[in-house]
Amino acid sequence: MYLCYNILMIKLVATDIDGTILIPEGKFTEGVKSCIKDLQDEGVKVVLVTGRMNKAAFLIRDELGLKTPVVSYQGGLVNDNGCYLYERYLSESDAKQIIDWAKTEKIHINLYNNDILYSELDNAEIQRYTKVQHVDYVVKPFEEIKLDKVNKILAIDYNDAEKIHRFEQELPAIFPNLYIVKSTPYFLEFSNPEGSKFCAVKFLQKYWGLNDNEILSIGDQNNDIALLEAGGVKVAMGNATDKLKQIADYITDTVYNDGFVKAMEKFVLL
């Protein structure tokens, strides 16, 4: 795709968090923090678009000083300071089928219901996950939970990335009515088919009355394919998956080398 850089007028930067603006050690570089401030000073809307739960995403938003809505749960929720602009949940029947599948496969799952994180066991997986995410969790049998607002379900296997990859390939045929995506080599996410990053960004595009070429989207993992497809300018991080790089208009540097900043300097902060 040919991009005429000198006439781009980006008004919305839709960015993934982990591996895009946040390094794996859970920190922001000074370059990223300064760049996001510069974008805001220029009147550019910077929106976090993440698979993280809403509470965890807002911690990031507040740390960066953003005032824009947050897209969480892969696109299942768009929250503007407590006002839910867009909501898509898993049905109770779909949630139960995923829970049954996980028990059969003996794989750990996180259940997110009404922005509360549940685990049936207080095991190493939930402890490791919540330590990184800085969120609380509730240990409770899933059968005792009213599955009325299931934001998403996350399957985790920190020891077998190949298993997660295999499930990513096999499960769409078993659950054809769900959105299933791998967000890290160890995470497989299940959500409403209208709860994708693409759907959420397109909602915000219409909400703010923007054109495609006024939106830049940037990410690093396969779950960001939907995010990049929503942008008029599609940027993949240098540390992105090969699959994401294939659909990008531009591949920037890695997260450790301020790839986000370099992309903003190229396309937005002209």
User: Does residue 6 register a pLDDT over 50?
Assistant: no
Same domain, 263 and 222: yes
110 and 76 inside one domain = no
CATH of the domain at 178: 3.30.1240.10
Residues 187 and 132 in one domain: yes
Cα-only R_g, the chain: 18
Residues 105 and 163 in one domain: yes
83 and 201 in a common domain:
yes
Q: Where do we find the tokens 């982990």?
A: 18
* Residue 221 shares a structural domain with residue 168: no
Domain count, the chain: 2
Q: Copy the structure tokens of residue 55.
A: 């509470």
- Intra-chain end-to-end CA distance of the chain, in Å: 20
What's the pLDDT at 8? 67
Domain range spanning residue 41?
A: 5-87+195-267
**pLDDT by residue (tens digit) across 212-221?**
999 999 999 9
Sequential DSSP letters for 78-145: EEETTEEEEE--B-HHHHHHHHHHHHHHT-EEEEEETTEEEESS--HHHHHHHHHHT---EE--GGGS
User: At how many degrees (to 10) do helices 259-267 and 30-41 cross?
Assistant: 30
Q: For residues 169 and 245, what is the distance between their CA atoms, to the nearest angstrom?
A: 19
- Taking only the tens place, the pLDDT of each residue in 49-105 is 999 999 999 999 999 999 999 999 999 999 999 999 999 999 999 999 999 999 999
Tens digits of per-residue pLDDT, 74-86? 999 999 999 999 9
Residue 31: phi and psi, rounded to 5, are: -65, -45
What integer pLDDT is reported at residue 122 of this predicted model? 97
Domain boundary among 130, 164, 191: 191
Residues 200 and 80 grouped into a single domain:
yes
* 131-179 tens-digit pLDDT: 988 899 999 999 999 999 999 999 999 999 999 999 999 999 999 999 9
Are 110 and 181 found together in one domain?
A: yes
List of long-range contacts for 246-252, beta carbons under 8 Å, 24+ apart: 249/1, 249/3, 250/3, 252/218
230 DSSP assignment: T
Q: What is the pTM of this model?
A: 0.91
